[in-house]
Amino acid sequence: MEQNEQKRPRIVVMGSYVTDLMGRAQRIPVAGETVKGDLFKTGPGGKGGNQAVAAARAGGSVAMITKLGADVFGDLALQNFDNEGIDRRFVIWTEAYPTGAALIMVSKETGQNSILVIPGACENLTTEEVEAAMSALLPADILMLQLETNLEALEQSLRMASESGLKVMLNPAPAQEIPQEFYKMIDFLTPNETEASTLSGIEVVSIERAKQAASVLQNQGAKNVVITLGEKGALALDDEGQFYEVPAFKVEAVDTTGAGDAFNGAFALALAEHKHLVDAIVFANAAAAISVTRIGTAPSMAYREEIEKFLFENSAK
């Protein structure tokens, strides 16, 4: 068992945990409208938590750095980390803030969603807490980050990773500007169309525009840029200036919530296994495709055997 554990890529996730409160209706209501729903679920979520689960299920040895409130949602988080085999030694408790929550509305008609995130405790990670956790968890294969925590905690983890030579993957979600000096510490930047548009100033409405946005982000310092394009797949720009267009797998989507997290978690695992950039994206696309055929976020993440089976079955198509 110990030998197998040593062979698994070591992935550190510094990011958010929130509890998802998901409601589904035939369609998402517009402003001022009430729509009757047909399903409600509560479960583990947050971009950091979701991506940690995705990476662990895909085969990684994952450690989580986050902050929880001393409440029932915090208890749910710890139970989830234990169930998924995620190292939670550096999950910090606080009575000053509640555990974060996300209010999610899902359209039964399209599978699309609208989300309101209240980060709560995880937005109040301190640089000292991050420094202690990172010091204990290094060395590792890759550090996975998002933007649902505060920028001070993000910067601390970025700088420590950069100084130690640890590969860094940043999923810049939710969309917001980040300091210019952060880019040069990012090995893999993984925005979606909206996030790429926000960061680059170029509206990503086509593959050509995605290439322009990726070039801008690389010029700002990010070594590799992968823009996820939903059902169109992904556009990648590697550190040698080569573009790659990687198509998505066609599936019947029932809930797209968490698809980006499924992609990012599996992508980080594939990179930690030293897969070629394109092969890593294909692996991540498969994980995302599986996730959208299920309801929920963290619970919808795919296991390694499912991803490999999916890839085998779709390789002949």
Give the mean model confidence (pLDDT) for residues 61-80.
96
Domain 2-16+47-71+84-96+125-312, what architecture?
3-Layer(aba) Sandwich (3.40)
Is 268 in contact with 62 (CB distance < 8 Å)? Answer: no
Identity of residue 61:
S
- pLDDT score of 3 more than 70: no
Which own/partner contact pairs does 308-316 have at CB distance under 8 Å and 24+ positions apart? 310/249, 310/286, 311/282, 311/283, 311/286, 314/249, 314/286
Active-site residue set: 261
- pLDDT score of 54 more than 90: yes
- pLDDT score of 2 more than 70: no
pLDDT of residue 316: 59
Residue 112 pLDDT class (50, 70, 90 cuts): confident
**Cα-based distances in Å from 109 to 41, 151, 253, 254, 291:** 18, 37, 10, 8, 17
- pLDDT score of 98 more than 80: yes
Q: What is the pTM of this model?
A: 0.92
User: What secondary structure, in 3-state letters, does 60-126 show?
Assistant: CEEEEEEEEECCHHHHHHHHHHHHCCCEEEEEEEECCCCEEEEEEEEECCCCCEEEEEEEEHHHHCC
- pLDDT score of 30 more than 50: yes
Give the mean model confidence (pLDDT) for residues 22-48.
93
Each residue's pLDDT tens digit, 258-316: 899 999 999 999 999 999 999 999 999 999 999 999 988 899 999 999 999 999 999 85
pLDDT of residue 297: 86
Give the mean model confidence (pLDDT) for residues 233-239.
97
Average pLDDT, the chain: 94
pLDDT of residue 254: 87
Each residue's pLDDT tens digit, 177-207: 999 999 999 999 999 999 999 999 999 999 9
For residue 64 the two structure tokens come to 């989580």
pLDDT of residue 6: 53
pLDDT of residue 317: 57
pLDDT of residue 315: 81
User: What secondary structure, in 3-state letters, does 204-243 show?
Assistant: CCCHHHHHHHHHHHHHCCCCEEEEECHHHCEEEECCCCCE
Q: DSSP label at 184?
A: G
